[in-house]
């Protein structure tokens, strides 16, 4: 065997050993005698303890004590102040049996198992794992599987921690307040780094609405898994945790020269009552435990008082669906009903197809589905019917889903009030009462076995007025009696209380001494010695024929709003966007001021004499942007030393452009321009003369003309080819010379673009993955991790390690870097 062939085989052997030991891939890699001894000791203790799990070689069992200790670096703090503490409602049932978000409704809602590598970032992976799962759940799409950036949390972007450990609650708060981009925007490096996400990171940010602490009991954790989704939890683990290969884990062995007890952050995804265990997702790759998951005996999570649920996720950018109002609050009497309008606006660029459902039978939406053109809106009528509902508060959610499975939840809060009338001694309603009559008060819709108090008082209550008779306490009872007017929860007799010196309106006041809803209900004095019950007016006024004197405006314009408002009683006031309108007969009108930017729905509301409100959200206006939006941009690129890269100059949001004259500057010691050419495959433009390229001064210029081009989105019009210097780690900005970056229109008027976006070029060293300017064993380990799929491959990785230029990090690339690091070949 010749020397070259022997050296190549040696390189491949070293590579395979590294993939087994460093890349967390089990196989035929060697296992030390110390590791075998520890595995045997743990399994002996497991059998002696009567436990039901198995220790063996894993992706982390062969690491040093210090490396193992670093992997478990979650830092625990008390529950943050002002954070919601959640526990199951009194009487809430807890589902027993088996529950697993990997098989909820026959679908796997969890994202793939990740590998944190040698970085102490379990706190980041535990939080990201829970948030990623909640994105799938909120979207109703188990295949969405957004891959979020753990590196954003580990880097200087976030102050919750680093590779030396961190705070899960700090990471949750950061995602709530700032959000994190996806993995391709800021790829994982398994080391501390500066805050260097992609240039357009703000367009890729996912957020959570909030997070909540879950009371540390087994039932509370089970309830939260059903109610909210996968949770962020922490458990303390000894040395044997690193050797777990399957079964129901219970802490068994802690070596005197080992890790001790370390805090480790994981994702709680389910439970199994038959096996008395939790199901958790770890972040040590799929070659640890049961394909990256573990079953943990009940009690080993709850004892650390550290469980947090994620509340609602928010997708990047402006939502395609915008619903107004975002929350519904309404009040109706027992057995009453009401309605209001929801406005669905399409903020996207494509036709929106939507559908909506609710989770309570007392809500009705009409229509329940439809389509909305870009920039347009649709009106949905929401009706709430309190028939059969008890007095008190009721909550529901309306869920709106678009054709991309993005969802939006609209909370609905309905308050149902008791109803009070007064009758004569026969139990029938009367038109009025003579002074001295007995008053029989019937109270509708009381909560069973709840204490109330009732009394009569003058309305308004003037100084010196007193209550009539002593307030009477009573209890709502479950049994009811029938009457022509409905169901009566209780009947009270108030004798001879109407011999009063006041010729004025009276109230029956119902207080709840323990729970429920208090209310004040009218009895009116008619001035003729009689008191009459007032019919309960629950019908809202109707607002119609809303019109605007103009629907296309600029910000700050005055808009005349005109509408009609009618009611079975009397309309008291009408307002448009909070501005009170003036009445002339049944017509109301007034001036509102146009808001800034976009399409705006005019909210017209009317209130009647009984306080009922009606809405009309059917009319809108559009604010026209008067600023020319022409944008000229130059892209960015990365490349290895001595290579050739191409960046493109783009034109966006331009109309009838007849000329473009871009002049760019750069650092000539970093890059040299080889050529500038028209991108004729995309746009038809003629180059005037030849490009003026001055690589000494670092400036390049060309002039283009056309018959008049119009572009909507960004269109690449010029390709600029650069040769990169033979030095690593250099970079240069690519900037336009503003005075020379001119456009011209069909009237040959020259003007500068409204927006100018610069770019940059960075030179990377072939094979130097960890950025220390040398090819070392760490680089070979990282390329092995990339090839095996334990780390995500980025465009920067391909520049550094795709030696055969096939767009992949493959076995050839790994072998070549290993050969170079061993000195078997002289260049990459």
Q: In what order do the strands lie in the sheet with 352-358?
A: 328-333, 407-417, 392-402, 352-358, 369-372
* pLDDT at residue 609, rounded to an integer: 74
Annotation says 723 is catalytic: no
* pLDDT at residue 424, rounded to an integer: 54
The answer for residues whose C-beta is within 8 angstroms of residue 426's C-beta and 6 or more apart is none
Please give the mean pLDDT across all residues of the chain: 78
* pLDDT at residue 473, rounded to an integer: 47
Q: How far apart are CA 798 and CA 808, in angstroms?
A: 7
Q: 43, 115, 182, 282: which one is catalytic? A: 282
DSSP-derived letter for residue 688 is: -
pLDDT greater at residue 543 or residue 753: 543
* pLDDT at residue 91, rounded to an integer: 57
Pick the CATH number of 68-314 from 3.40.50.300, 3.30.70.920, 3.90.70.10, 3.20.20.60: 3.90.70.10
- pLDDT per residue as tens digits for the range 108-134: 999 999 999 989 999 999 999 999 999
Asked if the domains at 321-416 and 542-623 fall in one CATH topology, the answer is yes
HEC sequence for 344-374: EEECCCCCEEEEEEECCCCEEEECCEEEECC
Give yes or no for residue 568 having a pLDDT over 90: no
* pLDDT at residue 29, rounded to an integer: 45
Token pair listed for 564: 């009609």
pLDDT greater at residue 199 or residue 264: 264
- pLDDT per residue as tens digits for the range 593-619: 888 777 888 989 888 876 677 888 889
- pLDDT per residue as tens digits for the range 372-397: 888 888 899 999 998 888 777 788 88
Token pair listed for 672: 């040299």
pTM for the structure as a whole: 0.42
Instruction: Give the CB-side neighbour count of residue 748, counting CA atoms within 13 A.
Output: 0
Strand, helix or coil at 722?
A: strand
Question: At 158, is the pLDDT very low, low, confident or very high (cuts 50, 70, 90)?
Answer: very high
Give yes or no for residue 581 having a pLDDT over 70: yes
Provide the CATH number for the domain formed by 631-764 in this structure. Answer: 2.60.40.680
* pLDDT at residue 420, rounded to an integer: 58
Strands 369-372 and 352-358: what pairing?
A: antiparallel
* pLDDT at residue 447, rounded to an integer: 54
Strand, helix or coil at 698?
A: coil
Q: How far apart are CA 675 and CA 646, in angstroms?
A: 9
The answer for residues whose C-beta is within 8 angstroms of residue 52's C-beta and 6 or more apart is 247, 248
* pLDDT at residue 509, rounded to an integer: 56
The residue behind tokens 């347009």 is: 376
- pLDDT per residue as tens digits for the range 387-438: 888 777 788 888 887 766 666 778 888 888 766 555 555 555 554 544 444 5
* pLDDT at residue 546, rounded to an integer: 94
What backbone phi and psi angles, to 5 degrees, belong to 130? -70, -40
* pLDDT at residue 387, rounded to an integer: 85
Mean pLDDT within 639-667: 85
Question: At 746, is the pLDDT very low, low, confident or very high (cuts 50, 70, 90)?
Answer: low
Annotation says 431 is catalytic: no
- pLDDT per residue as tens digits for the range 754-812: 677 788 888 888 888 877 778 888 889 889 888 888 877 887 888 888 888 888 899 88
Q: Report the percentage of the chain scoring pLDDT > 70.
A: 77
Q: Which long-range contacts (CB under 8 A, 24 or more apart) does 738-745 make?
A: 740/661, 740/662, 740/663, 740/701, 741/632, 741/661, 741/662, 741/663, 742/659, 742/660, 742/661, 743/630, 743/632, 743/654, 743/657, 743/659, 743/660, 744/657, 744/658, 744/659, 745/656, 745/657, 745/658, 745/708
DSSP-derived letter for residue 503 is: -
Give yes or no for residue 535 having a pLDDT over 70: no
Give yes or no for residue 651 having a pLDDT over 90: no
Give yes or no for residue 626 having a pLDDT over 50: no
Token pair listed for 421: 């009338």
Annotation says 122 is catalytic: yes
| Neighbour-count burial for 598-607, b at 16+ CB within 10 Å, e otherwise | bbbbbbbbbb
* pLDDT at residue 270, rounded to an integer: 96
Q: Write the burial class of residue 659 (CB in 10 Å: 0-12 exposed, 13-18 middle, 19+ buried).
A: middle
Mean pLDDT within 276-282: 97
Token pair listed for 617: 């959200």
Lowest-pLDDT range, 16-25, 63-72, 498-507? 16-25
Question: At 53, is the pLDDT very low, low, confident or very high (cuts 50, 70, 90)?
Answer: very high
Question: At 231, is the pLDDT very low, low, confident or very high (cuts 50, 70, 90)?
Answer: very high
Q: Write the burial class of residue 124 (CB in 10 Å: 0-12 exposed, 13-18 middle, 19+ buried).
A: buried
Q: 163, 198, 263, 264: which one is catalytic? A: 264
Which residue from 802, 668, 784, 776 is spatially nearest to 722, judged by alpha carbons? Answer: 668
DSSP letter string over 124-181?
HHHHHHHHHHHHHHHHT-TT----B-HHHHHSTT-TTEETBEE-HHHHHHHHHHT-B-
Give yes or no for residue 666 having a pLDDT over 60: yes
Mean pLDDT within 203-214: 89
Tell me the angle at which helices 777-788 and 3-21 cross, rounded to the nearest 10 degrees.
70
Domain regions of the chain by residue span: 1-30+765-828, 68-314, 321-416, 431-448+459-533, 542-623, 631-764
* pLDDT at residue 229, rounded to an integer: 95
DSSP letter string over 647-659?
EEEEEESEEEEEE
Which residue from 217, 212, 249 is spatially nearest to 46, judged by alpha carbons? Answer: 249
- pLDDT per residue as tens digits for the range 240-271: 999 999 999 999 999 888 888 889 999 999 99
Q: In what order do the strands lie in the sheet with 490-494?
A: 419-423, 439-444, 490-494
* pLDDT at residue 647, rounded to an integer: 93
- pLDDT per residue as tens digits for the range 668-710: 998 999 999 988 877 788 888 888 899 988 888 888 888 777 7
* pLDDT at residue 629, rounded to an integer: 62
Mean pLDDT within 562-587: 86
Mean pLDDT within 585-599: 83
The answer for residues whose C-beta is within 8 angstroms of residue 190's C-beta and 6 or more apart is 116, 117, 118, 119, 121, 163, 791
Q: How far apart are CA 219 and CA 222, in angstroms?
A: 5
Give yes or no for residue 6 having a pLDDT over 60: no
Mean pLDDT within 192-206: 87
Token pair listed for 213: 């602490």
CB 617 within 8 A of CB 341: yes
Q: 20, 119, 122, 157: which one is catalytic? A: 122
What class is the 321-416 domain?
A: mainly beta
Question: At 72, is the pLDDT very low, low, confident or very high (cuts 50, 70, 90)?
Answer: very high
* pLDDT at residue 489, rounded to an integer: 38
Lowest-pLDDT range, 94-98, 191-195, 292-296, 360-364? 94-98
Give yes or no for residue 100 having a pLDDT over 90: yes
Provide the CATH number for the domain formed by 542-623 in this structure. Answer: 2.60.40.10
What backbone phi and psi angles, to 5 degrees, belong to 502? -100, 125
Q: How far apart are CA 823 and CA 816, in angstroms?
A: 11
* pLDDT at residue 440, rounded to an integer: 57
CB 120 within 8 A of CB 165: yes
* pLDDT at residue 504, rounded to an integer: 40
Question: At 499, is the pLDDT very low, low, confident or very high (cuts 50, 70, 90)?
Answer: very low
pLDDT greater at residue 21 or residue 778: 778
Question: At 106, is the pLDDT very low, low, confident or very high (cuts 50, 70, 90)?
Answer: very high
| Neighbour-count burial for 617-630, b at 16+ CB within 10 Å, e otherwise | bbbbbebeeeebeb
Question: At 224, is the pLDDT very low, low, confident or very high (cuts 50, 70, 90)?
Answer: very high
Strands 671-678 and 715-724: what pairing?
A: antiparallel
């Amino acid at each position: 065997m010749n020397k070259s062939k022997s050296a190549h085989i040696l390189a491949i052997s070293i590579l395979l050993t590294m993939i087994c030991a460093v890349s967390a891939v089990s196989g035929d890699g060697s296992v030390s005698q110390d590791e075998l001894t520890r595995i045997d000791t743990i399994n002996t203790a497991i059998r002696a303890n009567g436990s039901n799990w198995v220790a063996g070689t894993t992706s982390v069992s062969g690491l040093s004590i210090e490396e193992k200790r670093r992997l478990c670096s979650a830092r625990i703090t008390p529950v943050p102040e002002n954070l919601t503490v959640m526990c199951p409602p009194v009487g809430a049932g807890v589902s027993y049996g088996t529950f697993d978000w990997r098989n909820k409704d026959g679908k796997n809602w969890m994202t793939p198992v990740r590998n944190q590598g040698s970085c102490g970032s379990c706190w980041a992976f535990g939080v990201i794992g829970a948030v990623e799962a909640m994105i799938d759940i909120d979207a109703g799409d188990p295949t969405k599987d957004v891959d979020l950036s753990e590196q954003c949390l580990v880097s200087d972007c976030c102050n919750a921690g680093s590779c030396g450990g961190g705070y899960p609650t700090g990471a949750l708060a950061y995602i709530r307040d700032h959000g994190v981009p996806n993995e391709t925007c800021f790829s994982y490096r398994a080391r501390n780094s500066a805050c260097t996400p992609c240039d357009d990171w703000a367009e890729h940010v996912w957020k959570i609405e909030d997070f909540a602490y879950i009371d540390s009991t087994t039932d509370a954790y089970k309830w939260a898994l059903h109610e909210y989704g996968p949770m962020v939890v922490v458990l303390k683990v000894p040395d044997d945790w690193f050797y777990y290969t399957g079964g129901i884990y219970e802490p068994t062995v802690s070596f005197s020269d080992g890790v001790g007890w370390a805090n480790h952050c994981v994702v709680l995804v389910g439970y199994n009552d038959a096996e008395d265990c939790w199901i958790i997702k770890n972040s040590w790759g799929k070659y640890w435990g049961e394909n990256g998951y573990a079953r943990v005996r009940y009690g080993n999570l709850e004892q650390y008082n550290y469980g947090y649920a994620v509340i609602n996720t928010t997708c990047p950018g402006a939502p395609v669906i915008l619903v107004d109002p975002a929350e519904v609050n309404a009040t109706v009497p027992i057995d009453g009903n009401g309605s209001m309008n929801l406005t669905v606006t399409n903020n996207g660029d494509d036709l929106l197809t939507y559908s909506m459902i609710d989770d309570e039978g007392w809500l009705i939406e009409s229509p329940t589905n439809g389509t909305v053109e870009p920039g347009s809106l649709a009106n949905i009528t929401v009706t709430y019917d309190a028939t059969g509902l008890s007095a008190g508060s009721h909550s529901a959610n309306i869920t709106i889903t678009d054709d991309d499975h993005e969802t939006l939840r609209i909370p609905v809060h309905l308050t149902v009030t008791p109803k009070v009338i007064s009758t004569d001694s026969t139990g029938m309603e009367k038109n009025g009462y003579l002074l001295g009559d007995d008053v029989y008060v019937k109270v509708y819709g009381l909560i069973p076995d709840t204490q109330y108090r009732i009394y009569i008082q003058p309305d308004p209550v003037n100084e010196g007025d007193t209550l009539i008779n002593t307030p009477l306490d009573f209890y709502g009872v479950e049994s009811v009696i029938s009457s022509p007017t409905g169901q009566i929860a209780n009947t009270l007799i108030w004798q001879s209380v109407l011999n009063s010196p006041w010729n004025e309106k009276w109230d029956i006041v119902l207080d709840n001494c323990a729970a429920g809803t208090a209310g004040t209900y009218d009895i009116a004095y008619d001035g003729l010695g009689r008191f009459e019950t007032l019919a309960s007016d629950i019908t809202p006024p109707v607002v119609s024929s809303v019109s605007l004197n103009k629907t296309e405006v600029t910000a700050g314009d005055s808009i005349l709003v005109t509408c009609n408002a009618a009611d079975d009683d009397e309309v008291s006031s009408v307002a448009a966007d909070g501005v009170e309108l003036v009445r002339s007969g049944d017509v109301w009108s007034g001036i509102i001021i146009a808001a800034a930017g976009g399409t705006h729905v005019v909210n017209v509301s009317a209130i009647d004499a009984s306080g009922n409100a009606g809405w009309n959200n059917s009319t809108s206006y559009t604010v026209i942007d008067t600023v020319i939006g022409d944008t000229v941009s130059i892209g960015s690129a990365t490349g290895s030393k001595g290579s050739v890269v191409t960046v493109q100059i783009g034109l966006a949001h331009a109309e009838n452009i007849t000329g473009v004259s871009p002049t760019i500057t750069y650092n000539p010691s970093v890059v040299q321009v080889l050529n500038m050419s028209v991108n004729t495959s995309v746009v038809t433009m003629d180059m005037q003369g030849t490009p003026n390229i001055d690589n000494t001064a670092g400036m390049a210029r060309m002039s283009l003309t056309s018959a008049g081009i119009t572009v909507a989105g960004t269109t690449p019009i010029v390709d600029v080819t650069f040769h990169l210097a033979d030095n690593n780690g250099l970079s240069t900005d690519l900037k336009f010379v503003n005075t020379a970056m001119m456009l011209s229109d069909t009237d040959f008027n020259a003007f500068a673009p409204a927006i100018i976006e610069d770019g940059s070029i960075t030179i990377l060293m072939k094979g130097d993955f960890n950025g220390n300017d040398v090819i070392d064993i760490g680089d070979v380990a990282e390329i092995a991790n990339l090839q095996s799929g334990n780390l995500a491959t980025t465009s920067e990785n391909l520049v550094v390690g795709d030696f055969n230029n096939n767009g992949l990090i493959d076995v050839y690339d790994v072998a070549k870097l290993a050969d170079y690091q061993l000195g078997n070949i002289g260049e990459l």
